[in-house]
Amino acid sequence: MVSDRGLDVLRAIVQDYVALREPVGSKSIVERHAFGVSAATIRNDMALLEEEELIAAPHTSSGRVPTDKGYRVFVDRLQRMQPLTHVQRIAITRFLDESLDREDVLDRTARLLSQLTNQVALVQVPIRRHALVRRVELIAVVEHRLLAVLILDTGRVEQRVVDAQQRIDPEQATALGRAFTETIAELAPAEAILRLTAVTASAPTVLRAATGAVAHALSEMLQVGGGNRIVMAGASHLVREERDFQGTVTPVLDAIEEQVTLLRLFDEMGVESEVATRIGRELTGPLGETAVVASTYSTGGSEGHIGVLGPTRMDYAGNMAAVRAVARYLTRLLSED
């Protein structure tokens, strides 16, 4: 079991590693922090932290770095959310108050949050809480072309001409539209997107190409029609922090460009608390070397998520405070519209 002093040592290691990006040794802890004990005592504390898998040695040096588990303990038990300074709050107000319309508000919010945190900022376009898919209609137009019509229960209609990649007659088009309707009707856009692959997988071989093309088009329409998309800013910050990743940062960049991945993550995080976090191994795939800090904002009948994504070596206290403050201000600003 880790002692109180051991947890304080963990806090020091996290803070120093985040600030310096160098493995932290017992000597530097004694020099930088007022523990009032010897370096040998600190080494014993670090050995216990390592046994608990809260810190690890990246190579043969005597320094240690936090593990994903160590960051989680730091966020949940050791860190205190830093309030934004008065200057930062004034900057938020002035920058967002100059917005021209809702789209401009979201774009400015993403850029502002990225500047405040030096991370990738993510702002989900507000989703109507009760928007559900009503039905899908497919109409054969000419040769390989289909008109795909997506109807939501809010009355919104999205439509798109789809290259079916094969000849399809009116009866087949109608039947395929019915299959999509049976699969995604009464679902929210985010869940409907996840179900689209089921229609493609079960489609007859002779209609597999057309079904896949329609599923792709519906996915894009659901993201727009359901308000289910993300405004991003600051991807360049990830490139600058590439040393924090074991290999190349490219898979992470590819993953965040695939918005469905982020939308699914936001849905999974939900509203666990005022500010929620996912760290390292708590995420899947290419995002497993990153951390996400997120909150929720609302606009009357709509809501969305806002957050930042970066390497696990991030300023959690500062980022959580920034995300919370911007989410609160965004709620006030959009509720006034």
Say what the pLDDT of residue 84 is: 84
Name the percent of the chain lying above pLDDT 70.
Answer: 94
Q: Please report, for the chain, the start and end positions of each structural domain, with discontinuous segments joined by +.
A: 4-78, 86-126+228-335, 133-225
Residue type, 241: E
User: Residue 218: which residues within 8 A CB-CB, separation 6 or more?
Assistant: 136, 148, 150, 180, 184, 192, 196
- What is the C-alpha radius of gyration for the chain, rounded to an integer number of angstroms? 24
For domain 86-126+228-335, the CATH class is alpha beta
184: pLDDT strictly greater than 70: yes
The model's pLDDT over 100-125, given as tens digits with 9 standing for 90+, comes to: 777 888 899 999 999 999 999 999 98
The single-letter DSSP state of residue 78 is: I
Indicate the fold that domain 133-225 takes in CATH: Enolase-like; domain 1 (3.30.390)
Say what the pLDDT of residue 129 is: 55
pLDDT band at 301 (very low <50, low <70, confident <90, very high): low
Domain 4-78 has CATH 1.10.10.10: yes
Strands 133-140 and 145-152: antiparallel
Tokens of 146: 């289909």
Greater confidence, 248 or 118? Answer: 118
User: Residue 319: which residues within 8 A CB-CB, separation 6 or more?
Assistant: 117, 119, 293, 308, 310
Greater confidence, 321 or 62? Answer: 321
88: pLDDT strictly greater than 60: yes
Query: Would you state the torsion angle of the CA atoms of residues 205, 207, 212, 215, taken in this order, to the nearest 10 degrees?
Result: -130
Q: Give the three-state DSSP class for 31.
A: helix
pTM of the model: 0.72
Which single residue is written with the structure tokens 């934004």? Answer: 84
267: pLDDT strictly greater than 90: no
Tokens of 337: 């519209």
Q: Give the three-state DSSP class for 125.
A: coil
pLDDT, averaged across the chain: 88
The model's pLDDT over 143-167, given as tens digits with 9 standing for 90+, comes to: 788 999 999 887 778 888 999 888 8
